[in-house]
Structure 1
Amino acid sequence: MKGIGTRLLLFVTCFSLCLALAAPVRAIGDAPLTMTRADKSLLQSNVASLWKLHVRIGSARPADLKQHETFGLVKNGQLSPAFVAQAVLQLSLRDEDTPHSQGPEWQAAPRPADVPRRYDLCIPLRQLEMVARQWLGWSLEVAALSRIDGVLRKGDCLYVDTQRLLNTWPCPMYDPREHDIFAQPFKTHAEQDRWIMQGEVWDIQQGQGGLDVNVCGTFSLTVKKVDGHWRILSLDFGRSLVLQ
């Protein structure tokens, strides 16, 4: 009986091992096994846009943070809601598809009588939430918007005094007509439940002899896939963040 029990145990062990080998490999640690080309392209675009805003994100404030840079603190598994709200508004102002004062959003929802004329932009809250998830991977806490100078919430829409809002940001935004900024990754790999992308930020301009490519700085991005979106856990830039 002892021999039968041993052979049975051996059979079960071998069978379990075969099943494990036959099953598809799902992850490296807990991270997704692959990052698609579309995923990489999205993250490259996000890095370039956040570089233009001089944004850095992480769990500890950098000692070399400059006056023109803005830092988003990730604490207790949450990116600062105030930072998310401010960054989302800035990113929305950069988006060419954002409905401006003469756009369809104004026609669909006429300006309320108690909204001053200086509020020249109307952004639906649903759009701000979409920007937060697609560009930062974090959800937007609507309550945090009320603490931003230059915005006024009415129902499901946020009215923005764009000039006042831009003046609250530590630095001016770059004119996309003058600078084409690209993030070029050199290394992308998985570690446990997250992915790390490292590379350089390039400024490409039209010169007399063709395209001029200048390296603006290096970057290191750490992200995690949450609810179908890439959540930024850290984003750091090396060298100068100022275009020469």
Structure 2
Amino acid sequence: MAEQTILVVDDEKDLLDLIEYNLKKEGFKVLKAENGEQGIEKAREHKPDLVLLDIMMPKMDGLEAVEIMRKDDDLRNIPIIFLTARSDEKTEVEGLDKGGDDYITKPISTTKLISRIKAVMRRFEDIEESVNKLEVHDLMIDKDRYIVSRGEEEFQLPRKEFELLFYLASRKGKVLDRQTLLNKVWGDNIYVVDRTVDVHVRKIREKLGDHYIETVKGVGYRFKE
């Protein structure tokens, strides 16, 4: 396997150096940046396999940076883990909704950090090995381009909305509870509240219409047959 590259973006130099040392011991190539602007520049230049991103930084914080990355065609599919001292639920939900794939609160042991990084990378490898295109009803859902099309019309959904739609559509007709959807789309090693699924389903319906995803009261959701 080719050497995997991790971009670490944090304004604490001592922490950057500590993470770099431990990731290199695990065989990763490490890039470093000290604020969101610098992080985006390095991500565009090097296309890392994963970004470890602090939230509270000068010039541009992590929430702004992740929004920009998720709108950039070259960066939108890179997994992003937030590493931050902010532990309130509101910030965690906001970070995940904006496109983060995991959220780790400081301080954290390097052993646990590396375990979470490897778990996110495995999840993305599993996704990449699965079917990449689905034709359901009048929709074409293309994972290679992260595009949903209906006839000549194309929709670019944010990453988690797209992955939630893809997961539901790939199991057309099956009722899926919220916890299953959280585990499969956001990962079973992070905490995300149930309403995160509801918010994402609502946003999908606003863009595509409400006739694809059915609410099964008291259980969860089903992509209609």
TM-score of the two chains, using structure 1 as the length reference? 0.23
Using CA pairs below 8 Å that are at least 6 residues apart, which structure has the higher relative contact order? 1
Higher helix share: 2
Per the normalisation by structure 2, the TM-score is 0.24
Higher strand share: 1
Larger Rg: 1
